[in-house]
A and B are shown apart, each in its own frame.
Chain A
């Protein structure tokens, strides 16, 4: 189901990379299964504004694509498309975790009984699809392999990494698609211009600012090569979604034409960037390295133009929000 054909030109790695699957992949699986979302996945990626997110560790660590405020962003993502949701998250090593785990198990079983899968973090986003009270296990789908695996109730949230997180979709309200599209582009401006306050600025950069961090890391060659590969391949997929979404959105709102052209160009640039990278630094010869930097600069320029075109198109609603473009 993943749309990552642009990887074909990347040389095979010694250790095949574990590509991060996004929250939207999991959300799409849940919402398309129960008929709450019937459009292609790139439309979900765009309407929730997820494909417009760009957060980056300054050494390009592989956690970059997942380094954002899940609670805040996933609440907004669902709300933008009229999905009512409830979620919880935390460190599983805290003393209160067992209380939250108990509550989450009840809530997940309830949602499953109503026929709606649940997004959970199991060191990656997965979808819990069934529960078996007799065996005291949940069944979940790995997005990458689509394999169905078992998760004992008492292991819910007890991940290798420190985080646990669940989101339950409880219902849907009707939204006018033109309004949804309009808001998604305003949120794109927010994501491009506002640093995620959860992330220390000394370690992470967000939105358009991420490009300078990228250029800095790549030109110093002090970055995590495997992380850079995974991160940029992930964002290449995001930009591809942004491009397909904006093109499709033109049908509802033809004035998006120039924005769509910018995102098409941006996606093409990222395609080239991804093709130059390799998960292993020794597979990225200096020559390729030199070709990377101008491409990143071009991506920065193109994305800046895309955001400017949105600002121009949505000048009044954006200015009505004064200094707080993200606050609806």
Chain B
């Protein structure tokens, strides 16, 4: 069993890319990646570990809690399996997840899977007991044995399924995406009690501080900055596309366009492309930090504007304390 016409490509955050591949193959999403990234709020997620480790980019919270509302805003049913592979119950949940993935594939729906990072399960072979997995960085297919499903270099496993869809009016979806953005911006820590990873506004401070102090993972720094710029570019394109939907959004778009241009110029110098990969030029660190400080101020202004726009419309979801959502890993 293999789903044809699916090819994950790394452009954005790996979850967004995987989701994009899954949804477009299923005919559940039409349009460019930046629209998916914007509408789901994924583009606005920004998290930084104090030492700038590469995992910063995917450490934007407890995944179920982050991805659920993202996919919900596309009007699409979703569910996930995951946890710590060391737990006694892993083997049972693993078996259930294997069946769920196969069931999903039988219905023509691929799944998002933590390799790491996020990839796509797009087929299986029951005789060989393997899943076919794409990671988006090459066009090849990787194989994951059923027996190894969920086992990876990290302590956790994760798989996201999707289902049916309802139509959400564009204006409603855009408004909700801005509110998701505000949540990410204003929540300092999303993986409590761990305070070594910051989100949103505080993520800027962590990034600037590490670059100033000089004790950081250099490949992580490159990855964080590249991903950060990609996200700003996605946000700019997204806002350009939807700015007419809500009054005041054009101003936010202008701010992000200015921010993107400024950061792009700085990163050309600070992260030059040599032999098809990028490396940080250490002499550029002070000016990079200055640029990031300015970017923080611009983004703060954009968020203030978003708060004003959001405040004009009732927000029932956020006026009631939920019975799910923020939690610590257990």
B328 touches A324 (CB 8 A): yes
Whose C-beta in chain B lies nearest to the C-beta of A76?
A: B330
**Shortest Cβ gap from B99 to chain A (Å):** 11
B247 within 8 A of A: no
Give CA–CA (A312, B20) in the complex, Å. 51
B322 touches A99 (CB 8 A): no
Give CA–CA (A302, B75) in the complex, Å. 50
B317 touches A99 (CB 8 A): no
B79 touches A99 (CB 8 A): no
Contacts of B330 in A (CB 8 A): 72, 75-76, 190, 326-328
A88 touches B76 (CB 8 A): no
A199 within 8 A of B: yes
Q: A79-B87, A84-B93, A100-B77 are in contact. Are A72 and B166 (CB under 8 A)?
A: no
Q: A173-B88, A328-B87 are in contact. Are A103 and B77 (CB under 8 A)?
A: yes
Whose C-beta in chain B lies nearest to the C-beta of A197?
A: B326
B126 within 8 A of A: no
**Shortest Cβ gap from A201 to chain B (Å):** 12
**Shortest Cβ gap from A101 to chain B (Å):** 10
Q: Mark A182-205, 1 if CB is under 8 A from B, else 0.
A: 000000001000101111100100
Whose C-beta in chain B lies nearest to the C-beta of A102?
A: B164
A99 touches B164 (CB 8 A): yes
B92 within 8 A of A: yes
B1 within 8 A of A: no
Q: Mark A162-178, 1 if CB is under 8 A from B, else 0.
A: 11010000110101000
A31 within 8 A of B: no
Whose C-beta in chain A lies nearest to the C-beta of B79?
A: A88
Number of cross-chain contacts by CB at 8 Å: 103
**Shortest Cβ gap from A134 to chain B (Å):** 25
Q: A84-B93, A171-B92 are in contact. Are A94 and B317 (CB under 8 A)?
A: yes
A99 touches B166 (CB 8 A): yes
Give CA–CA (A88, B75) in the complex, Å. 16
Dominant SS among interface residues on chain B: loop
A37 within 8 A of B: no
Whose C-beta in chain B lies nearest to the C-beta of A187?
A: B330
Contacts of A96 in B (CB 8 A): 72, 75-77, 166
**Shortest Cβ gap from B164 to chain A (Å):** 5
**Shortest Cβ gap from A47 to chain B (Å):** 14
Contacts of A173 in B (CB 8 A): 88-89, 92
Q: Mark B149-173, 1 if CB is under 8 A from A, else 0.
A: 0000000000000011110100010
Whose C-beta in chain B lies nearest to the C-beta of A98?
A: B166
In B290-330, which residues have CB < 8 Å from any A CB? 316-317, 320-330
Contacts of A82 in B (CB 8 A): 88-89
**Shortest Cβ gap from B259 to chain A (Å):** 30
Interface size on A, residues (CB 8 A): 45
Contacts of B262 in A (CB 8 A): none
Range class of the B interface residue count: 20 to 34
**Shortest Cβ gap from A248 to chain B (Å):** 23
B31 within 8 A of A: no
Which of A67, A70, A84, A198 gathers most chain B CB within 10 Å? A198
**Shortest Cβ gap from A60 to chain B (Å):** 16
Give CA–CA (A153, B263) in the complex, Å. 54
Contacts of A94 in B (CB 8 A): 72, 317
Give CA–CA (A75, B168) in the complex, Å. 30
B96 within 8 A of A: yes
**Shortest Cβ gap from A103 to chain B (Å):** 7
A89 within 8 A of B: yes
Q: A82-B89, A95-B168 are in contact. Are A327 and B324 (CB under 8 A)?
A: no
Which of B168, B172, B325 gathers most chain A CB within 10 Å? B325
Q: A170-B96, A323-B193 are in contact. Are A200 and B321 (CB under 8 A)?
A: yes
B320 touches A71 (CB 8 A): no
Q: Mark B88-122, 1 if CB is under 8 A from A, else 0.
A: 11001100100000000000000000000000000
**Shortest Cβ gap from A125 to chain B (Å):** 11
Contacts of A252 in B (CB 8 A): none
Give CA–CA (A36, B316) in the complex, Å. 40
Contacts of B79 in A (CB 8 A): 88
B324 touches A197 (CB 8 A): no
**Additional 11 contacts, C-beta under 8 A, given A71-B324, A72-B330, A99-B163:** A67-B321, A69-B324, A71-B325, A72-B324, A82-B89, A93-B316, A100-B77, A162-B320, A198-B327, A203-B321, A323-B193
Residue pairs across A and B with Cβ atoms less than 8 A apart, 6 shown, are: A70-B323, A96-B72, A103-B163, A197-B326, A323-B194, A324-B328
The 9 closest A-B pairs by CB, nearest first: A72-B327, A197-B326, A71-B324, A99-B77, A70-B323, A198-B326, A76-B330, A89-B324, A69-B327
